[in-house]
Amino acid sequence: MKMKNGTLSQLWENFEALTFFNRVMDLFFKFLIFFVVLILGLVCLSFPPLTDAQDLPKQSQSAEPTKLSDKDLIVFAKAYVAYQKLRQTYEPRLGKIQDPKEKQKLQQEGDAKVIEALEQHGLTPQSYNRLFAAVNGNEQLRQKALKLINEERSRS
């Protein structure tokens, strides 16, 4: 649209409300989608890093050792093995997909399966992450967990 030297009333006569509204709504939905994707990304980051049991990072031991029962460690080991199996199933598939929409759909499917697997062991993503952090924060618990994880792997 070329702007001619004219008055405000001439500009107002040429104003296209529908086009303006469409552009505003387009921007609004782009921002909305951006923030939804941002929130989903942050939720996905709340899961522990995808590593094997042998690669669990060693963290310094805290002054007060975390108290976890053997039952907590067994539940953690079972959930960890289930999580790793799902990771091994979905990670290669995700790597092969080029279409972002398909990739996001598969990622959401995998996230749902992880949550379902955790719930089968009586855990939420938050409680699993707390156990994961506690195990990594204490070398003694870490060694016990690794032993239980290896036992669980041999059973399944």
pLDDT at res. 126: 92
Distances (CA, A) of 32 to 36, 56, 91, 104, 132: 6, 37, 28, 17, 33
- Do 109 and 71 contact (CB within 8 A), yes or no? no
Tell whether the model's pLDDT for residue 91 goes beyond 70. Answer: yes
What is the mean pLDDT of the segment spanning 130-152? 91
Tell whether the model's pLDDT for residue 38 goes beyond 50. Answer: yes
Q: How many CA atoms are closer than 13 Å to the CA of 93, on its beta-carbon side?
A: 14
Annotated domain spans of the chain: 1-45, 49-155
- Do 59 and 137 contact (CB within 8 A), yes or no? yes
* 13-29 tens-digit pLDDT: 777 777 777 787 888 88
What percent of the chain has a predicted confidence (pLDDT) above 70?
Answer: 78
Token representation of residue 17: 């409300």
pLDDT at res. 19: 75
Confidence tier at 58 by pLDDT (50, 70, 90)? very low
N-term to C-term CA, the chain: 68
Confidence tier at 6 by pLDDT (50, 70, 90)? low
